[in-house]
Chains A and B, each alone.
Chain A
Amino acid sequence: MRTALIVLRKDILLELRTFETLPAMILFAVSTFVVFHFALNRSSIGGQLAAGVLTATVLFAGLLGVNRLFVADREQGGFDAFMLAPVDRSALLLAKASALFIFLAVLEVVALPAFALLLLGPSLGPALGGLIVLLALADVAVAVIGTLVSAIAVHTRARDLIAPIIALPLLIPALIATAEGAGPLLSAHAHRFPEGRWLAILALYDLVFALLAHAVFDFLLED
């Protein structure tokens, strides 16, 4: 656990000093909203359409972050250093997944108001709490799958290409649950909380894949 915290701290410090990943993700999300405005030819959207646009944007911005997750470790010998240290290897999984989760959370802190400003028709206020819960669970899903896929992709030749094509089908159940859960929250007569079954699917998905990732991660780290 302590190892995970140390690695997490390293990653966050790295990001704070270089600002490589997070501004790119945020800019990408905001630009995507603009693209959607033109692509859909609408000034304001609501309901399921809005939920879809929001989920897709956060997902694709997240994939940008996934691509960058292990690159520094690969290029500067971080993997070797980690494997030489007498620590539990799944700490790396926990650290990287937490880092990705934090990035996604910060992304959403900026993207949600941007979305409400640029594209969203109905007001965000009453549904905000429910939306945050839903997005938190979705972020866990993206973080776990993203870390796993990034660890697989970082040693391949076509690194940036492999990660999205593997991650997207894997994330579709989470995507379904998030978008369907957020639909009623973003409509004109907003519900206050997403339906139980979407949260249940997300929770189940998070649990299953977190356990699975923990089980297989060691095999990815061997030399």
Chain B
Amino acid sequence: MTPYSRGLRGLTTATAATLAAGLALVFFYAPLDADQGFIQKIFYVHVPLAIVSLCGFVLGGLFAAGHLRTRDPKWDMRSYVAIHMSLIFAVGGLITGSIWARASWGHWWEWSDPTLVSYLIVFLLFATYQPLRFSIEDPERQARYASVFAVVGAAFVPMNFIAVRLSQGFVHPRVLTLSGGRLPGAMQLTFAVSLIAIALLFTTLWKYELTAKSTRMQVRRLRRVALGDDAVRPLGRSAAPS
């Protein structure tokens, strides 16, 4: 029983329930958008994915700062899993964003939307996290350098959004408007539930990943101590911290 698995059952139930509630609300409760119709429903999965993945990147940076401060490998593991999860969520966010662009503009990508473009840039940056980890062999140095990278990346996120937003300026109107104030109540509720569902999903998956990794490492250690070094199979090549 690792500390990560505390409360996991309750969390999983809550996540499943919220996801189910969210899906139900999206398809049976939220009204059809006047201009975009059914297409607009992608918004309920795209925006939460994007928000949660960005928060995940920043969280990864915060954990990495913790690692740099305390040198405890646990923080590095938390940072790694958070960034890894956020990358996967970000791919989902980009794909759903592309679908939305196709629906709104007819082509699969839209440069004049600052949020989507900033998001792509952040994704491109964090996508280099794993190649970086892979290319450093010494585990301690790998953890340290990855943490430095994560901290710089987390600081980059707000900077990037500001710069891209300013560059769009006054020529192009925002394509994918998310004016929370103008959303009718039913849509707001659906959006809120979807956001909470995705956030819970992220947290649950993060905890599962950490529990699995942590347990595997403990089993390996026990094996090594009880049976000697030869009894432990070498780990395959992995960017994950041990």
Contacts and interface: CB of A to CB of B under 8 A. Distances in A.
Contact of A165 (B128, B144, B166): B128
B37 to A, nearest CB: 35
Contacts of B136: 155-157
A144 to B, nearest CB: 11
Given A208-B155, A219-B144, A169 B163 contact: no
A173 B163 contact: yes
A177 B163 contact: yes
Interface string B150-179: 011001100110111011000000000000
B152 A157 contact: no
A205 B159 contact: yes
- Which one of B68, B144, B156 has the greatest number of beta carbons of chain A within 10 Å? B156
A155 B141 contact: yes
Given A155-B136, A170-B156, A212 B151 contact: yes
B131 interface: yes
Interface residues on A, range: 20 to 34
A128 interface: no
A197 to B, nearest CB: 6
B39 interface: no
Contact of B132 (A166, A172, A173, A220): A166
A169 B125 CA distance: 5
B145 A152 contact: yes
Interface in B76-111: none
B241 to A, nearest CB: 16
Interface in A119-175: 148, 152, 155-158, 161-162, 165-166, 168-170, 172-174
Nearest to A211: B155
A156 B144 contact: no
Contact of A173 (B131, B141, B151, B160): B160
A49 interface: no
Nearest to A220: B148
Q: Which 3 A-B pairs have the closest CB atoms?
A: A173-B163, A169-B125, A156-B135
